[in-house]
Amino acid sequence: QTQLVESGGGLVQPGGSLRLSCAASGSIFSIHDMGWYRQAPGKQRDLVAAITRGGRTDYADSVKGRFTISRDNTKNAVYLQMDSLKPEDTAVYYCYAAIFSPDSIKYDYWGQGTQVTVSS
C-alpha cells in the first residue's frame, strides 16, 4: 500500500514562513515527478510547484520568488519552503507523486492535505 504523508501546515502571520514535508512509503519502484497543489474554499485545485526526479522545477507565477520546492530521492520525500506568506496563500496543500511500477505503469498518488492559514 503506497501512500504520501504530509506534515508542516499551520497558522502563520503574513510575511511569515512555513515548511511543508511529504514522504512516500509502501511499495515504491520509481518516483518521477513530485509536486504541491493547493485548493482554497470554493476554488479548484491548482499547481503550486513541481520538481522532476532530476531536479528541474516549475512554479505558479503567484509563488515565484517566495516558495522553493526540493526533494530528497533517498528518502522519497518532497518539501515546500514557503516564505513571505500572504493571506491569499491560505488553502489546503496537497502533495503529489507520479510513481511507476516495475512494468512501467504510472500511478498518481495524493497526500491527505494539510491546512495552511495565513492571517494576523
Q: For 51-80, what is each residue's pLDDT tens digit?
A: 999 999 999 999 999 999 999 999 999 999
The dihedral over CA atoms of 93, 101, 53, 74, expressed in degrees to the nearest 10, equals: 90
CA distance 8 to 101: 29
DSSP 3-state percent helix, strand, coil across the chain (nearest 5)? 5, 55, 40
What is residue 102's predicted lDDT score, i.e. its pLDDT? 87
**Residues in the chain with pLDDT values less than 70:** none
Give the DSSP H/E element, type plus range, for residue 22. strand 18-25
